Structure 1
Amino acid sequence: MTTHPTLHSTPHRHPRAALAALAAGGLLVLAGCGTQTSGAPASRPASSGEGKTIRATQVAHVTDPHEATGRTLLEGPLLRENGDLYVVDVTAPAGKPKVISVDLATGKHKGVYTDKTGAYTSAQISPYDGRLYLTDYTGSVVSTEPDGSDPRTFFSGEVDGSAMNLDDIAFDDEGNLYISDLHGMKPGKADGRIVRIDRDGEQATVLADGLAHPNGVTFDPELRGLWISELAENTVSYLLLDADKTTVTSQHEAVHVDAGVAQTDSIAVDADGNLYQALHGRPAMAVFSPNGERLATVEVPAKAAEGLESATNVAITPGGRKAYMTVSGPDGGYVYRFTALGDGIRQSNGG
């Protein structure tokens, strides 16, 4: 049954209240920023419906499952100007690195930022102030300097009377934020939202709701609209925005992702408008043209895939085609590299 989201344009002023720490059980449920899967095939050859196969190669083994949470989950890859890659570990416990810098030449890595309570699901640099922005599943947005210093709570609290469970983030050129809100991820309930937060953090607007666990969110290359992936329905929808980017003017389901037991996780675009759809429950990405044609499937080597469960997101080098995919599972959290079909842009770097 198709769920028809409701569109909104009502602003809401939020209180800057601190959020309680995420319960350990809730953090475990979060794994994959999606629902738990079991018995998923580790890898499979691309069929005629999956386009060509792109083989990814390992760059770095970044994390191992944490004793405190039983998991590790890398997300939000972000390429820095110095060539390093930032990733977040969603399930890292208090005191362990939650933002990690990876040297892509050597595979060496080091912690950049941590705190006691955050469960960070994405990362991106704001084009407005150059700070690093992190979405916290527990309902807040934290910003730091790029080196992890000067942490600030940019936004927290309810929007339209409801608490948020934040996942991915996108910025427009003016620095306003567009965030996917999983809204509790209740099975069988399509009550997720896309929320716009002004760049000063003072006003939040629900752009669309009634969504089936919205996960990925990214602008198209022209910044006319948002591509969003709905994890519970394995669909990618397109939300056309007005000139001010404060209202959705039209919306439709654009792509249905045939992924079997896997589900649609984060999404990115390249300069040609191609969509890179990460898969939760399979260490792979599906690549579509902006017209919905399945162009390719990015796969890790079959032997490595046996210990991996999900590919969560990708960062493509701005102006180039080197793409870096975050992959995690019982064997740990990894970064894999492949060649993208189009050049990277800001919309394919972080989020």
Structure 2
Amino acid sequence: MDRSKHNDIVRRASAMADKASFVADDFAQALFPKTEVIFNDRMRSNAQQYLRSVVEQIEKRICTIVTGDLGVSHDLLLGIAQRGNGQSFAMLEQSGLLKTSEIVRHLFVKTQQSELAARLLQKISQEDLESTLTRHLDHADPAVAKAAMGLLVAQSKTTGATGEIAASLADLSPEIAYAFAWPITAALVRRSGFSGPQLQQATERLLAAHDESAGVARKAERLAQLLDQSGGENISVPHPMRDGLTLFIARLARQSGLTSDQIVAFTAEPDMARLVVVMRAADFPVQEALSIFAALDGGDHILTGATYGETDRDRCQTLVTRWASPEAFQNAERLLSDDFPGSPGK
């Protein structure tokens, strides 16, 4: 065995020794998950792909600003700016800095949305899905046509190969962009050895210029709003095979008072129970609800007309109203509830 391989084994062994105490934690999490949500291999692969893409895009943008706008001459930073040969991902992945609750939640929603898109393509062609938006380009209201074009353009930037996920920085909220940008900056400082203030200044410029209004979610929300205001046939029940996935999510979120992220998350839960509650609260006709469920389901689950029809609508409306409350309020309410196992007297 040559010395380089020997040194590599020693390095890896030392690194594993530092992490050995976490092996049992990882195994316990796999054995005893806290929810019944299932994450398949495609979702795990897409999550890693998306995470790496976001880190590399932000890293490249920071280096472009620092070497271009701020005039820093540094070989490693210039190489990242010109060729995008990322340096930060491995360091951030190993450090755990990409495991913050904000980043992981964002990652879960994006991954689940990609999973839903893959499911839809098993039931409707890509051409037919695209036509769900292109038909709005001839809308009588120019504002609707313009919004539809904006959504089409935004979606084109995040469309990967079938079953894969693509990343666009415009789809990051300011909070998520912030959560990514500063750890990446710290990693760049460490990797490059460049300790001047320009890297931090570049990150500040990146965050100041960040515009999520160009992202898919905001474009879909705008189109959903205009379609509702325009009236006519567009007031029909939202449906992923009539609206396309992104517009369907935006319309349902708008109609229910929930966020698009919540709607996506509900589709990952067992039997999509909370999605069914949302549809029942909105009084979707039985056949529409069953069709939506079938379009989004990734397994052999079946929602029957009897089950849907017998679900109490008043209770569903109460639940949806509660879920629409600020998350901090919901969390506090659970902790203060007499029914919560950790409450005093329990």
TM-score range, shorter chain: under 0.3
TM-score between both structures, scaled by the size of structure 2 = 0.25
Which has the greater radius of gyration? 2
Structure with a larger share of its residues in strand: 1
* Structure having greater relative contact order (Cα 8 Å, sep ≥ 6): 1
TM-score between both structures, scaled by the size of structure 1 = 0.24
Structure with a larger share of its residues in helix: 2
